[in-house]
Chains A and B, each alone.
Chain A
Amino acid sequence: MIIPIRCFSCGKPIAHLWEQYKEGVAKGGNRKELLDKLGLERYCCRAVFLGHIDLIETAAQFKKV
């Protein structure tokens, strides 16, 4: 839905890095290099980024129940 504020496993704050990563990927950047540059060293944090899809804009068009 939206990038988690912190990594699920280690608790590192990661949300502020998401937009840089997303931009880099959109420009055709290498994911490994982007994650390294952002300082996401542990595989827990990297997994959060690799597996994430932004869906809030789609979901926001529907009414909350």
Chain B
Amino acid sequence: MEIQLLSSDKKKNKMSFILKGADPAFANAIRRCAIEEVQTMAIDDVEFRKNSSAFYDEMIAHRLGLVTLTTDLKTYNLPENCKCNGEGCARCSLKMTLKSSGPWQVYASELKSKDPKVKPVFGDTPIVKLLKGQKLELEVTAVLGKGKSHMKWSPGLVYYKYMPEVKIGEVKNAEEIAKACPPGVFEVKEGKLFVNKDELLKHDLAGMAEKVSGGAVTIEENPEEFVFCVESWGQLDCKEIIEQAAQEFESQLEEFGKLIKEK
């Protein structure tokens, strides 16, 4: 197995890499572990003291639940694995408060957290707008969770595609093919068609080449090479997501191995 980093953009929270010498089952296991097993922090409980805004309590609670929180995996446990048996203590949950009165636009940054490591990733996320005289006062509880119980705990978007292998035969309409595909994927030099491999991996829609060329260009997939794309929602960084996914996968296998030994 081999990994080759293609690109990493900290500002956009994106990363992509090539995984060589693996099979689809493994690639998919990593993808699924990343999306539904990696733990992140999210608001799971909202207690309303006052809400005279235009929104029902449930709507505000739902909006708060979807707010992404920076996650500190070292200090917090999953409530079900915590010593408190899920009752809620300082090691598995964090309380935050919000108090606001209109006329005012309430932002996520107004959530007051006692732990400076856990706060909304995007502070300027609008929660609700209060008119004159309207009030909002609430206390929220944030806990660690997994994407498989609710997507709000999912750390981001992870997907892969097979490595495309473009073969160019006798091409007559090179210009036309290059135009039909995303710009930069194909280049035309003196009437001949060339693939720009770096550009090709960035796009998903180069399949038109096959159709427009009438079969002269073929795109095959290599089932042992994968182009992975990771996009983080901000709770963890991209590398952390994949690291955690591998770790979760490993601990599942370990548990399975132990059970087999016991039987």
A: which residues have CB within 8 A of B?
Answer: 2-3, 5-6, 10-13, 15-16, 18-19, 39, 56-57, 59-62, 64
Q: Shortest distance in angstroms between B109's beta carbon and chain A's nearest beta carbon?
A: 10
Given contacts A11-B151, A60-B54, 20 further A-B contacts (CB under 8 A): A2-B55, A5-B63, A5-B67, A6-B66, A11-B154, A11-B157, A12-B157, A12-B233, A13-B68, A13-B121, A13-B125, A15-B122, A15-B125, A16-B122, A18-B126, A56-B54, A57-B129, A57-B131, A60-B131, A61-B131
B: which residues have CB within 8 A of A?
Answer: 12, 53-56, 63, 66-68, 108, 121-126, 128-131, 134, 151, 154, 157, 231, 233-234
Q: Shortest distance in angstroms between B92's beta carbon and chain A's nearest beta carbon?
A: 24
B-chain residues with CB within 8 Å of residue A56 when the two chains form the complex = 54-55, 128-129
Once the chains are docked, how many angstroms separate the CA of A10 from the CA of B157? 8
Tell me if A19 and B124 are in contact (CB < 8 A): yes
Once the chains are docked, how many angstroms separate the CA of A24 from the CA of B63? 25
* Top 5 A-B residue pairs of the complex, sorted by shortest distance between their CB atoms: A60-B54, A16-B122, A5-B66, A15-B125, A16-B125
Q: Nearest residue in B to A56 (C-beta to C-beta)?
A: B129
B-chain residues with CB within 8 Å of residue A57 when the two chains form the complex = 129, 131
Once the chains are docked, how many angstroms separate the CA of A16 from the CA of B67? 10
A-chain residues with CB within 8 Å of residue B233 when the two chains form the complex = 11-13
B-chain residues with CB within 8 Å of residue A5 when the two chains form the complex = 63, 66-67, 125
Given A56-B54, A59-B54, A60-B53, decide whether A3 and B126 contact each other with a Cβ distance below 8 A.
Answer: yes
The A interface, classified by DSSP as helix, strand, loop or mixed, is: loop
Q: Shortest distance in angstroms between A63's beta carbon and chain B's nearest beta carbon?
A: 9
A-chain residues with CB within 8 Å of residue B129 when the two chains form the complex = 2, 56-57, 60
A64 CB contact (under 8 Å) in B54, B66, B108:
B54
Once the chains are docked, how many angstroms separate the CA of A64 from the CA of B52? 9
B-chain residues with CB within 8 Å of residue A59 when the two chains form the complex = 54
Given A10-B157, A11-B151, decide whether A2 and B126 contact each other with a Cβ distance below 8 A.
Answer: yes
Once the chains are docked, how many angstroms separate the CA of A15 from the CA of B106? 12
Please list 30 pairs of residues, one from A and one from B, whose beta carbons are closer than 8 Å in the complex, sorted by A's number. A2-B63, A3-B126, A5-B66, A5-B67, A10-B157, A11-B157, A11-B233, A12-B231, A13-B66, A13-B67, A13-B68, A13-B121, A13-B233, A13-B234, A15-B122, A15-B125, A16-B122, A16-B125, A18-B126, A19-B124, A39-B12, A56-B55, A57-B129, A60-B53, A60-B129, A60-B130, A60-B131, A60-B134, A62-B54, A64-B54
